[in-house]
Amino acid sequence: MDNIEEEVREPVSPSGQYFNTAPLCSYVFGFLELEIPIDDDQAMYLLQHVFLPINPRFSSIMVRDKDEKMKWKKVEVNPEDHLKVPIFPKIESTEFYDKDFDDYVSKILIERTPQNKPLWEIHLIKYPTSNAAFTIIFKLHHALGDGYSLMGALLSCLHRADDSSLPLSFPNRKSSQLLTPKKGFFKLFPSTIFSIFNSIFDFGWSIAKSSIIEDDKTPIWNGEEGSEFLPCALTNLSFSLDEIKTIKSKLGVTINDVITGVIFYGIRLYMQEIDNKARSSNSTGLVLLSTRNIGSYQSVQDMMKADSKSPWGNHISFLHLSIPNLSQTSLSNPLEFIWKAQKIIKRKRNTFTVFLIEWVLDMMLKLRGHEAVAKHIYTTLRNSSVVMSNLIGPVEPMALANHPVKGLYFIMSGAPESIDIAVMSYARTLRITLKTQKDLIDEQKFKLCMVRAFEAISKASMEIPNKTKIK
């Protein structure tokens, strides 16, 4: 203990502190689905010689120094303490292994990692499921970094399946995010009084939603605190990116508009099926988004540089989106949800609300401390019916040490929302992951409503001419 000050290095960022508090302890889960199994020795080698060297925080814990400031302290890491290999009953049936997998994931989603060890775990699922022959689950504390940082770390362990000497390539990030705010005050400052009014109104509404205004109680939201400790289910949907691009071209909208419209329509279909009155409830989706002004992932080495345009850490904000009501018109013409989503997103992009929210969080941190910010974020998440986030994945198929990657997706946990929806592209597939509260949401019916929404929108889009414009 005499040389503890020498072992303490980097200060914990403000966001790193409020993501690891009593009211808010959040994790990012990354799921890597392999086409063939990987043996234990190779997994341990990759953990020690590929994963751990990525970032010093993977070998550090959070401690307080003599001035009561949080710092990252370098510690010795015993990989076996972080590598979890569950044992399922030997049934040799994919159907039963699917259930065992789902039950295991439901359990680890609500468990907190010990604070006296680095804040991550890797789970190896050796049993074949309907999605993969072998699944690796990365459980990474949000204090280590945001989804962009952690996904960048994960991708640095992978290589292109066709040619490992070539770098991974990604679609244009601006066309992939649900919402992408423009960086730079003068560039984003609205050019009209109407846009300025929208920014002020949205900011005021967002602050109110984060403090005093709750969503209506519906089949997807009951407003109870502590839902982050309740069992939840994880389900996945896969859609063809080519089909989504066809819908996009037919309607003259963006991929974001299509994805958001499908999600909103599926949510309303589910709500109506459970309670017809809920089709017109006041319900909101909270979109978590990156404030980085970059076009694609940077390498971890570049993120760690002092002058990086996209530094490692948590660089996120959020925006509230009202979920459009389900009317008779939209039931007969589901494309209304796409056009409403386009209108909402276009309007939000022309405001600087997201940066005002960042400023409020910074001021709150300086005046009241990270615990107050954590409580504010917790209430923001709890007061919204759905939380949504998305990340882009590589265009080409990948491999891990020459083991082909069949699928890649992520989800967040540890926050009080009843529904968490994560969207990620990989190769020619778009994966939508649904985390739902077990005692509140019928996860299979919810998934079915999302599929119905996509199919209805796809069918309706094929019946109209190309590039239909909003009037």
Mark 333-365 as b/e (b = at least 16 C-beta within 10 Å): bbbbbbbbbbebbeebebbbbbbbbbebbeebb
Confidence category of residue 292, pLDDT binned at 50, 70, 90: low
Confidence category of residue 392, pLDDT binned at 50, 70, 90: confident
Beta carbons of 72 and 9 less than 8 angstroms apart: yes
> The domain containing residue 34 runs over which residues?
7-461
Decide if pLDDT at 52 tops 70: yes
Q: What pLDDT score does 10 carry? A: 82
Q: What pLDDT score does 279 carry? A: 86
Mean pLDDT computed over 282-299? 70
Decide if pLDDT at 306 tops 50: yes
Pairwise pLDDT comparison (223 vs 316), residue with the higher score: 223
Contacts of 269 (CB under 8 A, 6+ apart): 326, 449, 452, 453
The two three-digit tokens of residue 150, written as one number: 């952690």
Q: pLDDT above 90 covers what percent of the chain? A: 49
Confidence category of residue 19, pLDDT binned at 50, 70, 90: confident
Spatial distance between the Cα atoms of 351 and 415, rounded to a whole number of angstroms: 27
Confidence category of residue 2, pLDDT binned at 50, 70, 90: very low
Q: What pLDDT score does 4 carry? A: 45
Confidence category of residue 415, pLDDT binned at 50, 70, 90: confident
Mean pLDDT computed over 411-416? 91
Whether 470 is in a domain gets the answer no
Mean pLDDT computed over 134-145? 92
Strand partners, 434: 235, 421
Max avg pLDDT among 58-62, 176-180, 195-199: 58-62
Whether 152 is in a domain gets the answer yes
Q: What pLDDT score does 192 carry? A: 58
Whether 151 is in a domain gets the answer yes
Q: What pLDDT score does 423 carry? A: 95
Q: What pLDDT score does 240 carry? A: 95
Range name among 178-192, 249-263, 288-302, 457-471 with the lowest pLDDT average: 178-192
Whether 468 is in a domain gets the answer no
Mean pLDDT computed over 282-298? 71
Q: What pLDDT score does 1 carry? A: 41
Nearest residue to 261 (alpha-carbon basis) of 454, 462, 393: 454
Nearest residue to 33 (alpha-carbon basis) of 126, 131, 113, 102: 131
Spatial distance between the Cα atoms of 387 and 385, rounded to a whole number of angstroms: 7
Whether 193 is in a domain gets the answer yes
Max avg pLDDT among 133-142, 194-203, 288-297, 357-366: 133-142
Contacts of 287 (CB under 8 A, 6+ apart): 178, 179, 318, 319, 320, 321, 388, 389
Mean pLDDT computed over 366-387? 89
Q: What pLDDT score does 6 carry? A: 47
Range name among 52-61, 132-141, 461-470 with the lowest pLDDT average: 461-470
Q: What's the CATH code of the domain at 205?
A: 3.30.559.30
Mean pLDDT computed over 185-199? 59
Mean pLDDT computed over 196-200? 76
The tens digit of pLDDT for each residue in 95-118 reads 899 999 999 999 999 999 999 999
The tens digit of pLDDT for each residue in 155-189 reads 888 999 999 888 888 886 544 445 444 444 444 44
Mean pLDDT computed over 303-316? 56
Secondary structure letter of residue 182 according to DSSP: P
Nearest residue to 471 (alpha-carbon basis) of 345, 351, 339: 339
Beta carbons of 260 and 345 less than 8 angstroms apart: yes
Q: Which residue has the tokens 């991929």?
A: 255
Contacts of 74 (CB under 8 A, 6+ apart): 7, 9, 56, 59, 60
Q: Beta 70-74 vs 8-11: how paired, if at all?
A: antiparallel
Whether 113 is in a domain gets the answer yes
Whether 466 is in a domain gets the answer no
Mean pLDDT computed over 36-43? 91
Whether 170 is in a domain gets the answer yes
Q: What pLDDT score does 387 carry? A: 94
Spatial distance between the Cα atoms of 155 and 381, rounded to a whole number of angstroms: 28
Q: What pLDDT score does 146 carry? A: 77
Return the SS3 of 72: strand
Decide if pLDDT at 202 tops 90: no
Mean pLDDT computed over 415-420? 91
Pairwise pLDDT comparison (190 vs 447), residue with the higher score: 447
Task: Quote the mean pLDDT of the chain.
Answer: 85
Q: What pLDDT score does 27 carry? A: 94
Decide if pLDDT at 314 tops 80: no
Spatial distance between the Cα atoms of 211 and 202, rounded to a whole number of angstroms: 14
Range name among 124-133, 187-196, 325-334, 369-378 with the lowest pLDDT average: 187-196
Spatial distance between the Cα atoms of 156 and 145, rounded to a whole number of angstroms: 15
- In 10 A of CB 60, how many CB atoms? 22
Overall number of domains in the chain: 1
